[in-house]
Amino acid sequence: METKDIILDLRTKKGLSQEELAEKIFVTRQAISRWETGETIPNIDTLKQLSKFFDVSINTLLGSPEQLVCKCCGMKLEDCNISKETNGNFNEEYCKWCYADGDFTLDFWKQYIKIGGLEKFEEFKKQIIDEFNSILGIEGLPKIEDLNVLSGSFVNLEYRLPNGEIVKFLDDKASYLGSQLECEFGGDRCFGIVANMDFLLICTYEKDGENPELVMYKKR
């Protein structure tokens, strides 16, 4: 959909006339009319107002010209998981699990300091990648090229042990290095890999983390 159609659709779903929407965002009815006919498009400041009012991202208002990705964890961004600033505006660079209310939610900045700065952190990440790629015998696991910083609350899945016990291995409030990988053989299950200074974890799961199965948990 084009911007003109999107604005018209959002306004109609709200049950607002052009004049009523104009009053809400402090523009003229004629401006609304020009947007909806495609004569003009809102400027960036007005797009921010429309974004906040309709609770959709600017990317959505513009017809989703690009796939937004969280710059922290690499997650694909949709309106439902994009972070917001304290004033309610969308921050289209991060997901809501990595950034919320004007601040990062993860502790990876502390990890940079603990390890010795960004350069040392990148060296540590490469070491973790090499350790994962040295693991043999897991069919369908592709070569790991990169890792993202992930929130524990996002990757802390529940696993059922052979004795029936349900366990979690991670801390919701911590951050980890990890990634999601498609199985080399295809199918509905993906590989999830997670690590920190103390362990490596490999699991498989279905869409949205459903039915997770622990493949390997190894102390470093």
Residue 156 above 60 pLDDT?
yes
Q: Give 38-59 pLDDT, tens digit per residue.
A: 999 999 999 999 999 999 999 9
Q: Are 177 and 148 in contact (CB under 8 A)?
A: yes
Tell me the pLDDT of the chain averaged across its residues. 90
pTM above 0.95, yes or no: no
d(CA 214, CA 203): 4
| Domains of the chain, each with CATH number or no CATH | 1-66 (1.10.260.40), 70-103 (no CATH), 108-219 (no CATH)
The pLDDT of residue 110 is 52
Instruction: Report the pLDDT averaged over residues 99-118.
Output: 65
The band of 207, judged by pLDDT with boundaries at 50, 70 and 90, is confident
CB of 157 closer than 8 Å to CB of 209: yes
- Is residue 168 within 8 Å of 158, Cβ to Cβ? yes
* 57/64 Cα distance (integer angstroms): 9
- Tens digits of per-residue pLDDT, 67-93? 998 877 677 899 999 999 999 999 998
